[in-house]
Structure 1
C-alpha cells in the first residue's frame, strides 16, 4: 500500500494529497511518514503511515519523525491529526506509541477489520504553531555509521549534541 501512495504522489504531485517525510541513514531509508489532508475538511489531516525499520527502533527515530510530521502539518494549516490502527494485541506497541505522542483515543469501530478486530482512532489537536525550536528538535539530521545523530543549530556541528 505504501508503495502505491508514493507512486501516486510521484505521478500526480501535490494534488495527490499525499505528503512524505523520509529518514535516511547512510543512503538507506530507515523510516518514513505519509500524511495528507482529509477530503471535505478544513484543518484535519490523516497520518496514513509511520514506520521505522525494526533494527532502527528504540533510538527515538519514530518519535522525532512523528514530531517533524506534526510540525509539517501545522505549517500547512493543520489543526487536527487523525491516525488509526487495529485493536489486536500485536498492535499494542503502536497504540502505546501514539498515546505517548499525545494522541487521544477518539473512537472505536467494532469489528471493522474482521470479527474481534476493531479500528481504534486517535486524534491530536495541534495548538500553537509548531517549530523545530519549540519541539526541541534538531535543525539537521546527519548520518554516520548507521546511527542517527541529532545536531543542534547552536551546537558545534563537528561534535554531537547531548540527547
Structure 2
C-alpha cells in the first residue's frame, strides 16, 4: 500500500533552516551560511507539513571551483575544469538534490519518490532564480544514471558535461537531465 502524501510546500533554504534541515552535501556550515547570505538561499526545500522531504542545492556559479578530491567530494559537485563555460557572474550552479530525505544521512523514504517532487523542486528553483534576476543556471550532467555512475566513478563515461539554461518559466527542457530518481 502506498502512503498518501499531503500537500508538499516548497521554499528556499534560509539561515534559520541551518540545523533543523539536513545539511548533507552542502559542505561546511560556514560555506552554507555564506551562500545563503550571498544568494538569499542555498537550496530549494520541500516539506510535507513540518517534515523536510527533499532539497535541491545550489551555489553561485564559479568556473574556478575545483575539488582537491574530484567531483565526488560533497563540498563541490561542480568541478568543470577546463570545460567550464564562461557565464555571467549572476549565474547559479545546481550541484545536488535529495528526494525522500527525512533526516541527515543516506537513507531515503520511498514514500516521497516517484511523485514529481524532484521536478517540482526544479520548477520552484527556476522560478525563484528568475524572480531574483539570475542570468542563468548551470549544472553538471552525466551520460549515465547516478546509480551507474556511483559504481563506476573512474570510468571515462563518468566525466561531467554541462548544460546551461536561462531561468525562464519554460523549464521542461531541463527536466530529463535530473534523471529517473527525481520524479
| TM-score computed with the length of structure 2 as normaliser | 0.48
Corresponding residue SS for 2:96: strand
Corresponding residue SS for 2:137: strand
Q: Tell me, which stretches of 5 or more residues in structure 1 are unaligned?
A: 93-112, 136-163
Distance 1:59 1:74, change over 3 A: same
Is this contact kept in 2: 1:31–1:50, CA < 8 A?
A: yes
Counting only pairs closer than 5 Å after superposition, residues 76-155 of structure 1 correspond to structure 2 as 76-90=132-146, 114-116=154-156, 117-127=158-168, 130=169
Among residues 103, 112, 115, which one is paired with 1:59 in the alignment? 115
Shift in Å, 1:38: 1.5
Q: Tell me, which stretches of 5 or more residues in structure 2 are unaligned?
A: 1-23, 64-87, 101-107, 172-183
Distance 1:3 1:19, change over 3 A: closer
- Detail structure 1 runs of 4+ shifted over 4 Å in the superposition: 89-92
Higher relative contact order (CA 8 A, sep 6+): 2
Counting only pairs closer than 5 Å after superposition, residues 23-62 of structure 1 correspond to structure 2 as 23-39=46-62, 41-53=88-100, 54=108, 55=110, 56-62=112-118
Shift in Å, 1:70: 0.3
Is this contact kept in 2: 1:50–1:66, CA < 8 A?
A: no
Partner residue, 1:148: none
Alignment length (residue pairs)? 110
Structure showing the higher strand proportion among its residues: 1
User: Counterparts of 1:86 and 1:4 in 2: how far apart (Å)?
Assistant: 22
